[in-house]
Amino acid sequence: MDPQSAAPYFDSLVNYVKSGVLSFHMPGHQQGTGAPAEFVDLVGAGALQADITQVQGMDDIHRPFDGCLRAQRLAAQAYKSDRCYFLVNGSTCGNQAMLLACLNPGETVLVPRNAHSSTVAGLLLSEARPVYYQPPFDAEMGVFHVATPDSLLSVLQRNPQARALFLTSPSYYGAAADVDALVALARQRDMLLLVDEAWGAHLAFHPRLPRSAVWAGADLVVQSSHKLVCGLSQAAMLHANGDRVERARLESVLRMLQTTSPSTLLVASLDTARRQLAQEGQRLLEQVLQLADQARAGLQAAGARLWGRRPGVHDWDDSRLVFSLPGFSGYEVERRLRREHNLQLEMSDSQNLVALVTPGHTRQSIDRLVAAVSELAGQAPEKVHKIRSPHLPELPESRLSLKQAFLARWESVPLSKAAGRICVDTVCPYPPGIPWLLPGEVPSPALIEELQAELAAGVTVQGAYDPQLETVRVVKE
């Protein structure tokens, strides 16, 4: 029998539910019997029956010895890692854990400036010293892609003592790094390679997709199993290879960062998502890629500009649709597709849109998307979007460490008056969630102007205390 046909954690949950145990344990809804009726109607009685806790027979994700351990081993086997840890707080928690497990206070880690904001929390907790690098910028698309060995040369020369290289790949837009070359580079320099592969839980299961950093042998790799494959929201995996990261420290960090009441539904969804991929992944992803190809042809015929493999980018995840509609801002297209066609895309920026195609889509879903974009393309934009000259946010000067700024006494000033002041807030236009300003950094007048232009174009901002960003927190003088 194929060992990957088993789903031991899921089975233990099914057994618990079927056994009809009379429960006197958490959660208080007692398998749904005490839950508000409208909630039961929405999620279904089955989901609530299976929402239990780590009682006898359900194993413990913090010290697994039974169903969860076997499920993690099967996941490691399917993804070809040495060890796999199930996460119930997304890649967010995985990024934090990687940094906290690998870096001591003051040790240098090279971090892409377009890293997800969860890395900031990891840097703050670990008190590591981040040195930011800029991956190659694509002026036509107006986005940063992923690190290449060349783009790292100068930061490596300036920081020969760096303990770790942090890599985000694939990017939100689908650009994928040459993970083999980066593993080799990290090894040569005796650095750990920590990879945020949140957008790559599907990579290992189809040859047309970019190579996973897990296969390439990166030390730690985090993947969101809820993003492109069929785990429930928040379900993620952390893969470990080799023994250069101290195992005991990693496991104790995971115990610190994760809840002591992990959702049995999330954990079971990791087990069944892995089984589905191991057994049917190639077929499902073939279907995904075919649908995405059909969608690209349809969108192009409708007048959209499609983005795919880009010069200087090693590989590209063709499962996602990345496009822009000339004359329209990405924000307007996203808003109008929702309002006028009841379609919701993954994200937009001022120019581009990203739509995910996953095993949950059909030919009908793709036809609806293409028809809606065609209709929109035939209409006038609410406001004609002019592509602004390529914008390359400069790295602001850093005057305090993340921790010092986090702990500093602060005051709020209008955004227009923040140039030259030391920021306490993170300022992170979302999407795509890339921080422009981090605690301790000093924005220049040009950066403030650029932020104001983004806000005027409709971008929302995360991380700042004032969500409208009319004011920003700075260190009190």
Q: Which residues bind ligand PLP (CB under 6 A)?
A: 90-92, 95, 116, 118, 168, 172, 196, 198-199, 224, 236
Nearer to ligand PLP, 116 or 310 (CB): 116
The residues that bridge with 369 in the sheet, in sequence order, are: none
Amino acid at position 461, single letter: V
Minimum CB separation of residue 175 from ligand PLP in Å reads 11
Nearer to ligand PLP, 64 or 432 (CB): 432
Minimum CB separation of residue 357 from ligand PLP in Å reads 17
Minimum CB separation of residue 218 from ligand PLP in Å reads 15
Minimum CB separation of residue 25 from ligand PLP in Å reads 28
Nearer to ligand PLP, 240 or 354 (CB): 354
Minimum CB separation of residue 90 from ligand PLP in Å reads 2
Minimum CB separation of residue 5 from ligand PLP in Å reads 27
Q: What sign for the dihedral angle of Cα 71, 73, 77, 80?
A: positive
Minimum CB separation of residue 115 from ligand PLP in Å reads 7
Nearer to ligand PLP, 90 or 330 (CB): 90
Residue pair 122/102 in contact (Cβ under 8 Å)? The answer is: no
Nearer to ligand PLP, 321 or 418 (CB): 321
Minimum CB separation of residue 199 from ligand PLP in Å reads 6
Nearer to ligand PLP, 216 or 377 (CB): 216
Nearer to ligand PLP, 115 or 333 (CB): 115
In degrees, rounded to 5, the angle at the alpha carbon of residue 125 between the alpha carbons of residues 461 and 196 is 65
Widest Cα–Cα separation across the chain: 69
Nearer to ligand PLP, 347 or 474 (CB): 347
Minimum CB separation of residue 432 from ligand PLP in Å reads 7
What CA–CA distance (Å, rounded) separates 128 from 120?
10
Minimum CB separation of residue 190 from ligand PLP in Å reads 26
What CA–CA distance (Å, rounded) separates 261 from 264?
9
Q: Give residues with Cβ within 8 angstroms of 110, minimum separation 6.
A: 130, 131, 132, 133, 152, 155, 156, 159, 162, 164, 165, 166, 191
The residues that bridge with 187 in the sheet, in sequence order, are: none
Query: Which residue in this structure is represented by tokens 């010895």?
Result: 65
Nearer to ligand PLP, 88 or 185 (CB): 88
What CA–CA distance (Å, rounded) separates 270 from 264?
10
Minimum CB separation of residue 92 from ligand PLP in Å reads 3
Cα 321 to its chain centre, rounded Å, is 17
What CA–CA distance (Å, rounded) separates 349 from 346?
11
DSSP class per residue in 155-177:
HHHH-TT--EEEEE-S-TT-EE-
Q: What sign for the dihedral angle of Cα 54, 258, 92, 186?
A: negative
Minimum CB separation of residue 169 from ligand PLP in Å reads 9
Nearer to ligand PLP, 74 or 198 (CB): 198
- Could you give phi then psi for residue 83, rounded to 5 degrees? -145, 150
- Which of the 8 DSSP states describes residue 329? -
Nearer to ligand PLP, 221 or 295 (CB): 221
Nearer to ligand PLP, 198 or 325 (CB): 198
Give, in order, the Cα–Cα distances in Å from 241 to each of 72, 84, 215, 459. 14, 9, 9, 39
Beta carbons within 10 angstroms of residue 1's beta carbon? 5
Q: Which residue is nearest to ligand PLP (CB)?
A: 90
Q: Sort 182 into a burial class: Cβ within 10 Å, 0-12 / 13-18 / 19+.
A: buried
Q: Which long-range contacts (CB under 8 A, 24 or more apart) does 344-348 make?
A: 346/320, 347/172, 347/431, 347/432, 348/431
The residues that bridge with 110 in the sheet, in sequence order, are: 131, 165
